[in-house]
Amino acid sequence: MSSSEFKKSMRYISVSFITILRLFSKLISSFTNLLFINEFLMRNYIIVLFVVLLSSCKNENANTIKTDLETNPKTLKADAIISKSIAVSGGERFKQSSLKFEFRDVYYQALRKNHEFLLVRVLVNEKDSIFDMLSNVGFERYHNDAFVKLEDSIANVYSASVNSVHYFSVLPYGLNDTAVNKTLLESEQIKNKDYHKIKVTFDELGGGEDHEDVFVYWVNKETFKVDYLAYSYAEVSGIGMRFREAYNERYIKGLRFVDYNNYKTEDTSIPVENLGKAFEADQLKLLSKIELENITVDLVNN
């Protein structure tokens, strides 16, 4: 191991065990039935994260999509297309998984156990560590060893920031949640390939802080993989839009991960549904790359 790699790993170890123990103490008072313990950081330099996940029985979503999809592409509906896309991207494995990755030098971990989840972000420098945790019971932040009491408005901002990175990391998983509304639009070609085009909106209840965002997914008609996506979001100056092109596909223990070329448009009059056509016409500008690094996957037993 090089000196730089060793220093990078040691940065994560600097997140205090006292913080982890306090998290454990707090969580064990909130969750009552199931103790789920998972490794937290890189295999060779481990911080143990104790996570207690509720194991109470829950009814399956009444709107769960049936797995026997129609085989005629002309008759496929938006729900069926997304269900097929989730299946070819890893499907049920996501529900029982521990994912770890780095994004822009920040460490993330996602623990999912059926209907329970814990989404983690760790920010570390030479002097401080920030530990953000979003779960079924809400959002919490720790600065070094101390719990940070936040105003609701600030907590919502941090929560949305953590959720956003985890949300994009596992797409299209999550698009069958109850707060998601899907509409099948007219099919489209991009780079001589045929795509189902699906518009996604969110209910206010259960749709998160950014429930007013609008997404469009281009699902390859042959592979059922999401090759492109676009979204619009509210910002101070009005409505912002992004278009993403997937690349660097890799499967890790059966789960699909991709990186993205991230494009923007200066013409906000273009409907988000038409960003695929703008991309084809070379009217978008490459803004950045979205790259997940050092991904590891552990599948969790029932």
Q: Is residue 154 part of a domain?
A: yes
One-letter amino acid of 48: V
Q: Is residue 164 part of a domain?
A: yes
Would you say residue 240 has pLDDT above 80?
Answer: yes
Encoded tokens for 234: 């509210």
Do 44 and 159 belong to one domain?
A: yes
Q: Is residue 141 part of a domain?
A: yes
Mean pLDDT of the chain: 80
Q: Is residue 72 part of a domain?
A: no
Among residues 117, 134, 169, the one where a domain terminates is 169
Encoded tokens for 48: 């143990």
Q: Is residue 301 part of a domain?
A: no
The pLDDT of residue 70: 44
Query: Where does the pLDDT of residue 300 fall: very low under 50, low under 70, confident under 90, or very high at 90 and above?
Result: confident
Sequence-separated (6 or more) residues with CB below 8 Å from residue 16:
129, 144, 145
Do 147 and 189 belong to one domain?
A: no
How many whole angstroms separate alpha carbon 266 and alpha carbon 3?
Answer: 43
Between 19 and 102, the more confident residue is 102
Do 101 and 36 belong to one domain?
A: yes
Among residues 169, 202, 223, the one where a domain terminates is 169
For 41-96, what is each residue's pLDDT tens digit?
Answer: 333 333 333 333 333 333 333 333 334 444 455 447 999 999 999 999 999 999 99
Domain that includes residue 201, residue range: 174-292
How many whole angstroms separate alpha carbon 17 and alpha carbon 136?
Answer: 23
Do 261 and 158 belong to one domain?
A: no
Percentage of the chain beyond pLDDT 70 is 72
The pLDDT of residue 115: 85
What's the CA angle centered on 114, arms 177 and 247, to 5 degrees? 60
Exposed/middle/buried for 286, CB within 10 Å: 0-12, 13-18, 19+? exposed
**193 phi-psi bin (left φ>0, alpha ψ -120 to 50, beta other):** beta
Do 160 and 261 belong to one domain?
A: no
Mean pLDDT score, 216-236: 93
Do 27 and 98 belong to one domain?
A: yes
The three-state secondary structure class of 23 is helix
Distances (CA, A) of 154 to 157, 233, 242, 250, 272: 5, 19, 25, 36, 29
Q: Is residue 80 part of a domain?
A: no
When divided into structural domains, the chain yields a total of 2
Between 141 and 234, the more confident residue is 141
Would you say residue 24 has pLDDT above 80?
Answer: no
For 114-130, what is each residue's pLDDT tens digit?
Answer: 889 999 999 998 888 99
The pLDDT of residue 7: 46
Do 141 and 185 belong to one domain?
A: no
Give 143's strand partners: 130, 146
Query: Where does the pLDDT of residue 237 fall: very low under 50, low under 70, confident under 90, or very high at 90 and above?
Result: low
How many whole angstroms separate alpha carbon 269 and alpha carbon 261?
Answer: 22
Do 165 and 178 belong to one domain?
A: no
Q: Which of 236, 232, 217, 244 is nearest to 268 (CA)?
A: 232
In 18-172, at which residue ranges do the beta strands (DSSP E only) sit?
34-39, 48-53, 96-103, 106-113, 116-124, 129-135, 138-143, 146-148
Query: Where does the pLDDT of residue 268 fall: very low under 50, low under 70, confident under 90, or very high at 90 and above?
Result: confident
